Amino acid sequence: MLFILIITIFNNFSGDFSGVNKISVDSVYICPVENEVIMSEPIKLEYTGKIYYFCCSGCEMLFKKEPARYIQKDLMCLPCSDYDAKREIYFIYDEVKYYFCSRSCAEKFRKVPEKYLNGK
Ligand SMILES: [Zn+2]
Ligand SMILES: [Zn+2]
């Protein structure tokens, strides 16, 4: 009776374990800088409301310097929450480049960046 119980517990445990393995295989991240699948633990960065993953801190730094180079879609103007930002109108805050639709939006951001960067 005890023997059967142990077998049952062991089976449950191995079941859970393979489940954990499966999750880590399923979540594949692609480094936007090198355009390659990240094999190690990815570096997480939130930028204009989206999470980006990088293979190394070097890639993260390149992204922060020139996000427009690596973002395929339109750039978000944070004060408007609209995807109409222009590459020529930008402001660098905390070593990260942000883009804006107009000079007045860039100015709004420059005055109170914390207002637009939640969680920072
Ligand atoms: Zn990378
Ligand atoms: Zn704007």
Rounded Cα distance, 81 and 15, in Å: 44
Write down the pTM of the prediction: 0.75
Question: How remote is the CA of residue 51 from the centroid of ligand 2, in Å?
Answer: 21
pLDDT in tens, the chain (120 residues): 656 555 555 555 544 444 444 444 567 999 999 999 999 999 999 999 999 999 999 999 999 999 999 998 899 999 999 999 999 999 999 999 999 999 999 999 999 999 999 744
Question: How remote is the CA of residue 16 from the centroid of ligand 1, in Å?
Answer: 32
Cβ atoms of residues 52 and 42 within 8 Å: no
Rounded Cα distance, 24 and 104, in Å: 44
Question: How remote is the CA of residue 33 from the centroid of ligand 1, in Å?
Answer: 5
**The amino acid at 117:** L
The token duo for 62 is 């390149």
